[in-house]
Amino acid sequence: MSRANLVIVLALVAALAFAVSAFLQRRASEHESRESISGAAQHGLPGAVALTLRLVRRPVWMLGWGVNLAGFGVQALALSLGSVAAVQPVLTAQLLFTMVLASWERRRWPTVVDWLSGLAICGGIAILLSVDGAAPLGGVADRSRVLWAVGAAVVAGALLVSTARILPSVAVSAVLLACAAGLAYALSAVFMKLTASSLVDDGVGATARDWVGYSLAVSTLLGLVLGQAAYAAGPLPWAVAAMNIVNPAASFAIGVLAFETDLPSSPGDLAALTGTGALLLLGVIGLVRSPSRGTWTGHQLDQDVRVLHG
């Protein structure tokens, strides 16, 4: 097997691991009551934390977390053998694997609409990642601009969580929490880059006194908690799609705002961004209107999804 093919295979294995991890973590919530799941989605961060603290005691959840760590290991191996541009787009296959797992659980198979919608979203994200400077965060960070970007992301995340608390639909609340989790993971990528740079340039002592390392821990924990609530409360493919869209999109925006990178201006980059928006819009509409939406909820929230869409 050639090196290029090995990189693709490893990236696909990592995507499958991430999908299985999300599936298992959502399965861990099967024995929770409807009220508990609804509370996790609509009581804000405290409800999500309370649910996660209960789930971490379940062996299925811990197994899912272990699979997630294994996925990161395989992803790291793929990145060591190939470029980010080769690996990251392949990881979008997580959504397709998630659709299969969520449908298989109910002894069904994704419909043609599901496949086309999932492929549109994966294609849109892959095109976004192909835009120069989109992945990874490039250039040198301007710390003052990083603070502004982080502040904007925190405000956006707080608005998403607050809106989730007042919506009557648990499924839509779960999607908003998934978007907030995607923002948290995008911030984690920023803090990880800053922490790595600090370790190389300033050493361990200075890094230990720097705020970004602690911010990395907080943002990663927030992403875990909000993501778990989204997995439990809403259709799993919706949550995975929301996180997979928001994470690279927010990373791209933060890269433009806080790092010494130029705005995309070439005709090719502008066309790619336009194509990204069109594909993501079509994919999201397809998933929201999918006839499988009622089968993707793993608990008693099916009626909530049916009422939402009629």
Using one digit for the tens of pLDDT, what is the confidence trace for 198-210?
Answer: 777 777 777 777 7
Residues 56-73: pLDDT tens digits?
888 999 999 999 999 988
pLDDT of residue 59: 92
Tell me the per-residue pLDDT of 72-111, one tens digit each, with 9 for 90 and over.
889 888 877 876 667 878 888 999 999 999 888 777 888 8
Q: What is the 3-state secondary structure (H, E, C) of the chain?
A: CCHHHHHHHHHHHHHHHHHHHHHHHHHCCCCCCHHHHHHHHHCHHHHHHHHHHHHCCCHHHHHHHHHHHHHHHHHHHHHHHCCHHHHHHHHCCHHHHHHHHHHHHCCCCCCHHHHHHHHHHHHHHHHHHHCCCCCCCCCCECHHHHHHHHHHHHHHHHHHHHHHHHCCCHHHHHHHHHHHHHHHHHHHHHHHHHHHHHHHHHHHHHHHCCHHHHHHHHHHHHHHHHHHHHHHHCCHHHHHHHHHHHHHHHHHHHHHHHECCCCCCCHHHHHHHHHHHHHHHHHHHHHHCCCCHHHCCCCCCHHHHHHHHC
Give the residue-averaged pLDDT of 10-18.
Answer: 93
The average pLDDT across 2-19 equals: 89
The confidence band for 142, taking pLDDT boundaries of 50, 70 and 90, is confident
Domain boundaries, the chain: 3-309
